[in-house]
Copies of this chain bind each other. A is one copy, B any other.
Amino acid sequence: MIHTTTDASPTTSPAWQDGHKGTLETGRDLLADVSLPAAVIHEAPLAHNLAWMQDFARRHRAQLAPHGKTTMTPALFRRQLEAGAWGITLATLPQCRAAFAEGATRLLLANQLVGRANMAIAAELLRAGGELYVTVDGRDNVAQLSEFFAEAGLTLPVLIEVGVDGGRCGCRRDEEVIALAREIAARPGLTLAGLEGYEGVVHGDDPAARIRAYAERLVADVRRLEQEGLLGVAAPIVTASGSAWYDLIAEAFRDGGLEGRFTPVLRPGCYVVHDHGIYREAQRGVLSRRPDLHEGLRPALEVYAQVQSLPEPGLAIVALGKRDIGVDQPPEPLVRYREGGDVETPLSVDGWRVTRQMDQHTFIALPRGTDEGRADDVRVGDIVAFGASHPCLTFDKWRRIHLVDERLQVIDTWETRF
């Protein structure tokens, strides 16, 4: 079973003993009772995104195995599985272990499994009943895995990773894929369960065309493996897709007629809370290619922080640092409230400009006149909601994340498992 923090739980331990960033345990109003900075997920857009992407996969006759590395939040894994996800994708064995311990039993490691200590964790998961798939892309690693799992008396399902020149991992040539499949078939301890790819490393002119071609290559390769009898399982897996080009992958899988004989699996991760930056841009691309998809995803993750100093005209220092929020791009001030104020009366952040970030501080250039005594002037203690990009690098800053409703009341507090 997946364990989540119950509503009562946060109030039972003395606030100063838990050793975490976190809430003031007696309160539930984000604008009054929660120690800030704090990471916050809004329930309404979260629920929308969960349903939206599951529906997207269903309409393309693909399974969904959301990339769990994004959030490493078991409560979100539970929500994803309850919404219909086929499994959870992860990037490391300790991540797989954490997800499995919280109830996710079908795990897709979209990465090579390297190192005997990590193999030992994989063996534990298999022995405990986990369904685990890992990727391979070379003979050396296949030999290492075969030796370890054969010796352990286990069979590890592997997916061959299909890569591109100048990309990341993965076999560059189709002939390498076939040769590696033969190598896997010839060795004990392994079974070939399908193909894996990641289109996020496909670059060049006309990326959409290149990504379509890459997805079609995956489809063609898995058909060839099938024809040559090199696949060791029923309904072998064909999987790709990050959070930017999943529509192209889904279309190619759908149009490749995989249904029935193969298991097409999509693996977006960021969709669950979406984004205020690079993936918002990417989503605009998806919607421009696919006007039938309507609206799309909604950003659900924000970090709330307070103005801590107004040391000179035009400058606000906010208690929000690189320790608190992803910094692939400067965080985006979204809205401001008075501490203890009402969600119905937001204050402006028009013209606010993040000029610098340090470990624990954000510098904001204020528009002229906004700190000079008007009713909506900026005050020390004002609470500012920030959007970030991308979400992976905000989640990993936090051990606890607050789920809030539309009135910014805390519904639940979720633990992360990085």
Contact surface of A with B, Cβ cutoff 8 Å:
14-24, 27, 32-37, 69, 91-94, 97-98, 100-102, 111-112, 114-118, 120-121, 124-125, 128, 137-138, 140-141, 144, 163, 165, 167-172, 306-312, 317, 319, 321-323, 339-340, 358-361, 363, 379-381, 392-393, 396-397, 399, 417-418
Task: Establish whether residues A115 and B36, one from each chain, have CB atoms under 8 Å apart when the complex forms.
Answer: yes
Interface hub of A19, A169, A393 (most chain B Cβ within 10 A): A19
* Distance of A184 from chain B, by nearest CB (Å): 15
When distances are taken between beta carbons in the complex, the residues of chain B under 8 Å from A33 are 116-117
> CA separation between A322 and B91, bound complex, in Å?
13
Would you call A380 and B114 a contact (CB within 8 A)? yes
Alpha-carbon distance A345/B365, docked complex (angstroms)? 54
19 other contacts beyond A20-B98, A112-B309, with CB at 8 A cut-off?
A14-B124, A15-B124, A16-B97, A16-B101, A32-B117, A36-B117, A69-B323, A69-B359, A92-B360, A112-B319, A112-B380, A138-B309, A138-B380, A141-B381, A144-B381, A163-B311, A170-B311, A323-B392, A323-B418
Task: Point out which of A35, A165, A339 has the most chain B C-beta atoms below 10 A from its C-beta.
Answer: A35
Question: How many Å from the CB of A18 to the closest CB on chain B?
Answer: 8
Total identical chains? 2
Interface centre among A37, A310, A339, A418 (most CB of B within 10 A): A418
Query: Do A312 and B101 contact each other (CB < 8 Å), given the known contacts A16-B128, A35-B115?
Result: no
What are the residues of chain B within 8 A of A124 when measuring CB–CB? 14-16
Contact of A98 among B19, B358, B392 (CB under 8 A): B19
Min C-beta distance of A305 to chain B, whole Å: 9
**CB-contact partner of A311 in B20, B23, B171, under 8 A:** B171
* Contact of B165 with A312 in the complex, beta carbons under 8 Å: yes
**Closest chain B residue, CB of each to CB of A315:** B166
Whether A34 pairs with B310 at a CB distance below 8 angstroms is: no
Are the C-beta atoms of A111 and B360 separated by less than 8 Å?
Answer: yes
CB closest residue in chain B, given A94: B21
Q: Is the CB of B168 within 8 A of A361?
A: yes
- Contact, CB under 8 Å: B19 / A121: no
B92 lies within 8 A of A310 (CB)? no
Q: A380 and B16 in contact (CB under 8 A), knowing A137-B309, A168-B358, A360-B91?
A: no
A116 near B310: Cβ-Cβ < 8 Å:
no
Cross-chain contact B396 with A115 (CB below 8 angstroms): no
Taking a contact as CB atoms closer than 8 A, the residue among B91, B121, B399 that contacts A16 in the complex is: B121
Chain B residues with CB under 8 Å of A116's CB are 32-33, 339-340
Residue of B nearest to A363 (CB): B168
Q: Tell me the nearest residue of chain B to A32, going by C-beta.
A: B116
Q: A114 to B381, Cβ gap below 8 A?
A: yes
Say how far A151's CB is from chain B's closest CB, in angstroms: 14
Residues on B with C-beta less than 8 A from A163 are: 311
CB distance from A382 to the nearest CB of B (A): 9
Contacts of A363 in B (CB 8 A): 168
Q: Which chain B residue lies CB-closest to A143? A: B380
- CB of B311 within 8 A of CB of A418, answer no
